[in-house]
Amino acid sequence: MSQTAKKSAGKSAKITAATSKKSEGFTAEERAAMKERAQELKAEARMNKSREEGERAILAAIAKMKEPDRAMAKRLHALVSASAPELMPKTWYGMPAYTKDEKVVCFFKDAGKFGDRYATFGFNDKAALDDGAMWPTSYALKELTAAGEAKISALVKKAAG
């Protein structure tokens, strides 16, 4: 082997070693969310997709949350249900979510889900929120104020289209 080939092989081995050290795969929280999603898909295939079943699933997911996220999730569930009753409740990766035509429109991710410093209320691409070339798709929540509730309610109504 030539000197150039030896140097190239050595660099390649170093790069591969460095790359493998950086990537450790999914976190325990991410693996748990994927398992929850797999269970949700199996349950959806077995069950009649009713509003009541979705409600039960969401309330069970909320009950597992720690405060203050649990209180925010309960309030958000009430807001979404009142603002857009046509959206169907369900869980999505173990999080409360609301769907239209079986596609997730909006969801709540508690801070404890992935060890974040704040909860998130987000919208997926099914949400009718398009506003020019750029618009927000999620909001960080540390608490729910009256102004925040009003904004979320208006966004959910618009998102439901």
Please report whether residue 2 resides in a domain: no
Q: Higher confidence at residue 155 or residue 12?
A: 155
| Domain with 112 in it | 26-160
Per-residue pLDDT tens for 15-35? 444 444 556 899 998 898 888
Split into its structural domains, the chain has a count of 1
Please report whether residue 21 resides in a domain: no
> What percentage of the chain has pLDDT greater than the value 90?
70
DSSP collapsed to 3 states, 111-147: HHHCCCCCEEEEECCCCCCCCCCCCCCEEEECCCCHH
Q: Higher confidence at residue 2 or residue 123?
A: 123
Please report whether residue 5 resides in a domain: no
Predicted pLDDT at 16? 45
pTM over 0.75: no
Give the pLDDT band of residue 153 (cuts 50, 70, 90). Answer: very high
Average pLDDT of the chain is 87
CATH number at residue 106: 3.90.1150
Q: What are phi and psi of 30, to 5 degrees?
A: -65, -40
The Cα–Cα gap between 150 and 128 comes to 18
